[in-house]
Chains A and B, each alone.
Chain A
């Protein structure tokens, strides 16, 4: 066995440039696979459906964007009158799309108690806003802006301090939350609020409550009632397209690594067909030649994979810190997952071996004059 290792090493070191070119050839394929896979997984995560909640939301019937909606407290009171047994609480939300220091974000203002308890927000760092000119931001907003707890951001000409970073279940957009009082101070009260949220009792059926509200003459034609996630989906149609795109990308990445690696190895071996034929002539069996070339290929493929993974890792980290990707201000986070890395390595080795197997099979039909039998 050590003879095999000795000859493999001698061979690789002697023809350094050819070995290096083969490795680089495969490295490019590996980097392509890893980046496409990372992008594909980021899209899948981005497009994943949010958790189902039982909240209902009300906006003006003619509003294409929640920002265009205008509601007042009467609407919420009417809703409670229509389904008093099913609705346990309600709260208003001010909603704006804004450019904050060059980043497009959603700004929401909600009463503090609802902010903490009813919006599926998880505090990751810092604290909830409890004073004037304080906000919490989503982790997506933090990633694309590098704002941390303690940072000062200017919103609508007023400085706010970031006091917390939260994870927002189901919300894909980079967001800033503040208390309802702060929102009213910032945006005024002339347009009322944009979104009314109804919290249902656990025993209530959200869809039947929604239908009941929507069919009531006091609501019909004036207000639209959605399941909270349906409203979210209405503004996230892109998710579906991204999922399809990610599947196409995943397919391309698999094709790239399988055919790319196979091709690189086949070319490399065909270039040295004369040496391989010579080993056959001096008495090496097909199996021994195959073992030698498989060992040789395993070294090349492993080196290419390690190099490719390192290059992809460096690229992704550089991209995260220097050029973060976002879709409508929602961050698209690339990362190299363990399953994709393992699958890539297995495919690399498998198709490199397939390249050896089939090329050796082809060479067995040739002689040293290069003529087929």
Chain B
């Protein structure tokens, strides 16, 4: 079974057809993803569930242009991620994709604001404009008062908010979140889910979230299940 709707809309933001990812370990081939078909519209909230090692992270890396498929077609916002050069992929990620990771992946040497503005600096925005925009985004995620704090001075939930702010700051069309609540207590997890839903509704950004957390599934517009690298429709609202 594949997860592609029978009548894919023409305005699909993400279009994956027959996507495969195979890793080689010596002479052995390990299947990470197998025949993934997916069509995602703008402003959707997609949740992908599945056991550890099922290929959730691999799929997010492919959708975000961090990694390339072994076979298949993949386009995001009209950009062919399979044949794009490394430089094109870097620009594409910088301008269109936000990433949120389970363990936040903030740079420990930088305070919250400096972490948030990294993508803007990568884009070439001026120092002053970057800081002003970064401060505004931190206000939006409720951390306006914690700008100068380094990651070690922030709680897990706060660090994840900073990570979300960093993902949002370039106004991407897609945010890919890999177990965003996996390292948080339930109260912090709930507030992160609420924040993602609010941002999706307010800013129209597409969220694709890989998770074990059933609460996130409830917030999804579409849910999929990955088992042994194969994607199945899980539920639809």
Contacts from A to B (Cβ < 8 Å): 2-3, 7, 10-11, 13-15, 274-275, 278-286, 288, 364, 367-369, 371-373
Interface centre among A274, A283, A284 (most CB of B within 10 A): A283
- In the complex, what distance in Å separates the CA atom of A278 from the CA atom of B64? 13
A279 contact set on B, CB distance < 8 A: 118, 122
B107 touches A281 (CB 8 A): no
On whether A10 and B114 interact (CB within 8 A), knowing A282-B99, A367-B67, the answer reads yes
Q: Number of residue pairs across A and B with beta carbons under 8 Å?
A: 70
**B123 beta carbon closer than 8 Å to chain A:** yes
B93 touches A274 (CB 8 A): no
Q: How far is the CB of A82 from chain B (nearest CB, A)?
A: 86
A283 touches B122 (CB 8 A): yes
A10 touches B109 (CB 8 A): yes
Given A14-B108, A279-B118, A279-B122, list of 20 further CB < 8 A pairs? Answer: A7-B110, A7-B114, A10-B110, A10-B114, A11-B109, A13-B109, A14-B150, A15-B109, A274-B105, A281-B64, A281-B105, A282-B166, A283-B93, A285-B87, A286-B86, A286-B90, A367-B67, A368-B105, A369-B61, A373-B67
**B94 beta carbon closer than 8 Å to chain A:** yes
**CB contact between A369 and one of B57, B90, B118, B119 (< 8 Å): that residue:** B57
A7 contact set on B, CB distance < 8 A: 110, 114
Contacts from B to A (Cβ < 8 Å): 23, 57-58, 61, 64, 66-68, 86-87, 90-91, 93-95, 99, 101, 105, 107-110, 114, 118-119, 121-123, 127, 150, 166, 170
- In the complex, what distance in Å separates the CA atom of A368 from the CA atom of B101? 10
B107 touches A275 (CB 8 A): yes
Of the A-B pairs whose beta carbons lie under 8 Å apart in the complex, a sample of 16, sorted by A's number, is A7-B110, A7-B114, A10-B114, A14-B108, A15-B109, A278-B107, A281-B99, A281-B105, A282-B166, A285-B87, A288-B122, A368-B61, A368-B101, A368-B105, A369-B58, A372-B23
- In the complex, what distance in Å separates the CA atom of A281 from the CA atom of B170? 13
**CB contact between B90 and one of A15, A274, A285, A368 (< 8 Å): that residue:** A285
- In the complex, what distance in Å separates the CA atom of A279 from the CA atom of B110? 13
Q: How far is the CB of A278 from chain B (nearest CB, A)?
A: 5
Q: How far is the CB of B78 from chain A (nearest CB, A)?
A: 19
On whether A283 and B90 interact (CB within 8 A), knowing A3-B121, A11-B109, A14-B109, the answer reads yes
**CB contact between B122 and one of A11, A13, A284, A369 (< 8 Å): that residue:** A284
A2 touches B127 (CB 8 A): yes
Q: How far is the CB of A334 from chain B (nearest CB, A)?
A: 41
B66 touches A368 (CB 8 A): yes
- In the complex, what distance in Å separates the CA atom of A367 from the CA atom of B118? 19
B114 contact set on A, CB distance < 8 A: 7, 10
B93 contact set on A, CB distance < 8 A: 281-283
B86 touches A283 (CB 8 A): no
B57 contact set on A, CB distance < 8 A: 369
B66 touches A281 (CB 8 A): yes
B109 contact set on A, CB distance < 8 A: 10-11, 13-15
B94 contact set on A, CB distance < 8 A: 282-284
A367 touches B61 (CB 8 A): yes
B121 contact set on A, CB distance < 8 A: 3
Q: How far is the CB of B187 from chain A (nearest CB, A)?
A: 27
Residue of B nearest to A9 (CB): B109
B61 touches A280 (CB 8 A): no
List of 10 A-B pairs having minimum Cβ-Cβ separation, nearest first: A283-B94, A14-B109, A283-B122, A284-B122, A282-B119, A11-B109, A282-B118, A278-B105, A10-B109, A283-B119
Residue of A nearest to B103 (CB): A274
- In the complex, what distance in Å separates the CA atom of A169 from the CA atom of B73? 82
B67 contact set on A, CB distance < 8 A: 367, 373
B91 contact set on A, CB distance < 8 A: 283
A2 contact set on B, CB distance < 8 A: 127
Q: How far is the CB of B228 from chain A (nearest CB, A)?
A: 17
- In the complex, what distance in Å separates the CA atom of A373 from the CA atom of B67? 7
- In the complex, what distance in Å separates the CA atom of A282 from the CA atom of B107? 12
- In the complex, what distance in Å separates the CA atom of A274 from the CA atom of B93? 17
Residue of A nearest to B92 (CB): A283
Residue of A nearest to B108 (CB): A14
A14 contact set on B, CB distance < 8 A: 108-110, 150
A282 contact set on B, CB distance < 8 A: 93-94, 99, 118-119, 122, 166
Q: How far is the CB of B73 from chain A (nearest CB, A)?
A: 18
- In the complex, what distance in Å separates the CA atom of A275 from the CA atom of B170? 20
Interface centre among B57, B90, B170 (most CB of A within 10 A): B90
Q: How far is the CB of A295 from chain B (nearest CB, A)?
A: 14
Q: How far is the CB of B107 from chain A (nearest CB, A)?
A: 6
A280 contact set on B, CB distance < 8 A: 90
B150 contact set on A, CB distance < 8 A: 14
Residue of A nearest to B107 (CB): A275
- In the complex, what distance in Å separates the CA atom of A372 from the CA atom of B22? 11
Interface centre among A285, A286, A372 (most CB of B within 10 A): A285
Interface centre among B64, B109, B150, B166 (most CB of A within 10 A): B109
- In the complex, what distance in Å separates the CA atom of A368 from the CA atom of B110? 19
Q: How far is the CB of B38 from chain A (nearest CB, A)?
A: 20
B61 contact set on A, CB distance < 8 A: 367-369
A3 touches B127 (CB 8 A): yes
Q: How far is the CB of B22 from chain A (nearest CB, A)?
A: 11
A371 contact set on B, CB distance < 8 A: 23
